[in-house]
């Protein structure tokens, strides 16, 4: 029994170390591209740009890539705090109906690719949750729906009681996910395909849904996905 216990422990440690190595490799890969672009544009601006317009174009590219790096670094720091248990969790009685409605109103202003967002929210739902973490969770789900939604399509946010539980769902009519990729979407840096709308939400770095899963667990919830390729 002791041998089995040690073997199980070593197996878990090995998986943990491998996960950390993969995470570090993925993070380095994600940072390499914007860094290379920034250096190239800086060199171009210093050596080849001859007009104010060319200087401005170089600075715009540098700004976009630096913003992408900033988003990635902030997300990695957030993950670190979650992993280490240092991210404060302030559970308090919350009117989830009102909070969800407010988040949806903010998300409706994005209007990415003329995608409309509607809310089907049951009134009077209250529960213990962390308002900030719940807000981040729902914003990430909506952001993902915008990224992979079809032009002139729709997103539907639903909040309702389901027996003794509260059910929150975000549905879209976008590109969908193949069956073999359904569980992979929760992995850090995984993307079904490169985001076509990187200006929406997390910037297409493949961390949004992984963050959603971790926040859901932290708040005592469960998360799942249903999808048909090409249907949303």
Task: For residue 36, give both structure tokens.
Answer: 């290379």
User: How high is the pLDDT of residue 26?
Assistant: 66
Q: Check residue 193 and give its pLDDT.
A: 57
Task: Categorize the per-residue pLDDT at 79 as very low, low, confident or very high, splitting at 50, 70 and 90.
Answer: confident
Residue with tokens 């590109």: 175
Does the model's pTM come out above 0.95? no
């Amino acid at each position: 029994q002791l041998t089995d216990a040690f073997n199980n422990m070593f197996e878990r440690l090995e998986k943990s170390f491998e996960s950390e190595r993969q995470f570090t490799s993925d993070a380095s890969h994600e940072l390499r591209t914007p860094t290379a672009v920034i250096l190239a544009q800086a060199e171009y601006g210093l050596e080849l740009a001859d007009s104010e317009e060319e200087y401005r174009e170089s600075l715009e590219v540098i700004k976009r890539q630096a913003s992408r790096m900033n988003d990635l670094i902030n997300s990695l720091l957030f993950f670190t705090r979650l992993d280490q248990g240092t991210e404060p969790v302030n559970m308090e009685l919350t009117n989830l109906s009102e909070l969800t409605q407010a988040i949806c109103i903010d998300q409706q202003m994005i209007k990415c690719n003329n995608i409309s967002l509607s809310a089907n929210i049951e009134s009077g739902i209250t529960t213990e949750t962390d308002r900030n973490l719940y807000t981040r969770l729902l914003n990430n789900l909506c952001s993902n729906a915008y990224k992979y939604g079809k032009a002139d399509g729709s997103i539907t946010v639903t909040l309702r009681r389901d027996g003794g539980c509260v059910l929150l769902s975000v549905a879209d009519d976008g590109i969908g996910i193949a069956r073999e990729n359904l569980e992979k979407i929760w992995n850090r840096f995984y993307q079904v395909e490169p985001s076509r709308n990187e200006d929406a939400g997390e910037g297409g770095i493949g961390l949004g849904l992984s963050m959603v899963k971790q926040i859901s667990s932290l708040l005592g919830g469960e998360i799942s996905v249903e999808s048909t390729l090409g249907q949303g």
